[in-house]
Structure 1
Amino acid sequence: MKQIFSILLFAGLITACNSTKPASDDIQQSKNSTMSKKETVGTFLGAVMKGDTTTMRELANADYIQHNPFIPTGLEPFIQMLPVLQENGTTAENIRMFQDGNYVFMHNIWRNAKPFGADEMVSFDIIRLDDNGKVAEHWDAMTPLVKETASGRTQTDGPTTPTDLDKTDANKALAKAMVEDILMGKNPQKITDYISTEQYDQHNPGIKDGLSGIVEAVEYLTSKNNMFQYTKIHKVLGEGNFVLTISEGKWNGTTNVFYDLLRFENGKAVEHWDVIQPVPTTGLANNNGMFGGF
């Protein structure tokens, strides 16, 4: 499922303000009762694209929580940012969308994205809907898009549709254990318990395919005394054979957020996408933190 969205779809992702019409609450409840969570998010984002503030107010909470460190909480401060983004002609393409309970998580490509740090960016975005089905909270992480990668794959290509929906919980448990044992160093010798020895399609731009690609990358980073260190798993989200882990760790002398998306087949990880972003400490637009709420 691929769609081209304007910057208004994803820049605020969770913008809302108070409705001045009390009757709109009844309208909103009716809409939410007939839409799935993915449809609610898609409808809300479409309303943002069109500037349909009535629908935005119906579908999103006034007191949304924003965890992108450079986007302020609240509608009016966000609106003040839009002219800069619109002047750059920033757009975003949604590559994947999944749902886990009240969370909808997405994999996106941004273009004309200089306001975010580079001409083209890759991101993971997470939206939480509250128990009334209203958009309530947003997290994300972004990294520059790389044209030439070690594996020859892009940072976003590959399957997009989840399968094995009855195995969601089992795959989430596998992903969590994999991060703990391999990336956090609990039992690194168990790597073949989690990663297929026959197929491991790699989308990290600096790592080649397969287990050999992982070994080569680890050896190189270790030789540079710059091996990344995962220290805490903050959230695990999944739908079927796709699982996203959100972790905290150290790399390049800074604290980073690590978003890792894994695809599983027959109990083994066969594909990996990621976004790694340093956690900023200055110039913050809000104090909610990139891991807050998890």
Structure 2
Amino acid sequence: MSAKEIVIQLATALFSSFDPEAATALLDPGYIQHNPAVPTGAAAIVGFVPALEQSGFQAETHRVIAEGDLVVLHSTFSNAQIIGADTVIAFDVFRVKDGKVVEHWDNLQPAVPAAQTANGNSMVDGAVEIMDLEKTAQNKALVQGMLSDVFMGGKVDKIADYISAETYVQHNPQIGNGLEGLGAAIAQLSAAGQMFTYDTVHMVVAEGNFVFAASEGSMGGVPMAFFDLFRVEDGKIVEHWDVVSDIPAEMAHENGKF
């Protein structure tokens, strides 16, 4: 099986069919966990499966992006009080080695209904089809350049080099559509002393027109994890989804968030 197929089977076993045996068969015993609330090792996550099932937990995966040994899932979790809110938006990243899932990172954020967002979009709707596989490296380089120049380098004047001035669909609930919406949000956050900063990009996963990045930074001085997904079309970023959460000082393991 491909890495993508292995991860889809694991996600099904953990979050849909609630099958501990199937999950155990797909996990390396030394599974490295980066979710701050879950202990490391396969036994810990498998042991959590019965509680998920009993809680009425439901999962819907919207996008799956894979590159090499890394697979990214973009999902909505419903009846998800057990992990913090009624409805949670999640990015999960799994690393596969020798046919087993060996490592996991994630970021979770309570969902904001589309009617309450600044852009009128939900946090998960929009394009889903993976296209332009031959442009994967080119699209990955574009996003890496934008993260380096704009998000880490602060070169806001270069933003139009990377993001389309004609079409930029935004799914962050606090930011309006288009470059105008992004500019207004940056001005508002800066004025409130809550501007986000990106310090380190820990991973970038690209497949065709989709590019995912997991980054570490801060917002208003609070350590934050930024998991971003970008869609690229004709050499420019045209759509963006993200999940943002704080990085707690104490975790259930010593692996860190990244």
Q: Please state which band the TM-score falls in when normalised by the shorter chain.
A: over 0.9
Residue in structure 2 matching 1:273, options 233, 236, 241: 241
Counterpart mapping for 1:62-73 below 5 A:
62-73=29-40
Is residue 93–residue 104 contact of structure 2 (8 Å, CA) maintained in 1? Answer: yes
Q: Does 1:135 align with 2:115?
A: no
Pair member with larger Rg:
1
List alignment gaps of at least 5 residues for structure 2: none
SS at match of 1:154: coil
The question of 1:115 aligning with 2:82 is answered yes
Shift of 1:134: 1.4
Taking the aligned partners of 1:124 and 1:77, their CA distance within structure 2 comes to 20
> How far apart are residue 249 of structure 1 and its match?
0.6
SS in 1 for 2:65: strand
- 1:197 pairs with one of 165, 168, 175: 165
Kindly indicate whether residue 186 of structure 2 is the aligned counterpart of residue 218 of structure 1: yes
- The answer as to whether partners of 2:149 and 2:155 remain within 8 angstroms in 1 is yes
Runs of 5+ in structure 1 lacking a partner?
1-34
Are 1:285 and 2:244 an aligned pair? no
Deviation at 1:187, TM superposition (A): 2.4
Question: 5 Å matches for 1:65-214?
Answer: 65-130=32-97, 132-147=98-113, 148-214=116-182
Runs of 4+ in structure 1 off by over 6 angstroms are none
Task: Supply the distance in 2 between the matched residues of 1:226 and 1:46 (Cα, whole angstroms).
Answer: 38
In structure 2, distance between residues paired with 1:59 and 1:75: 10
Report the identity percentage: 43
Displacement of 1:37: 1.9
Pick the aligned partner of 2:230 from 262, 267, 271. 262
Say which structure is richer in strand.
2
Q: TM-score, normalised by structure 1?
A: 0.82
Contact 2:4 2:66 in 1 (8 A): yes
RMSD: 1.6
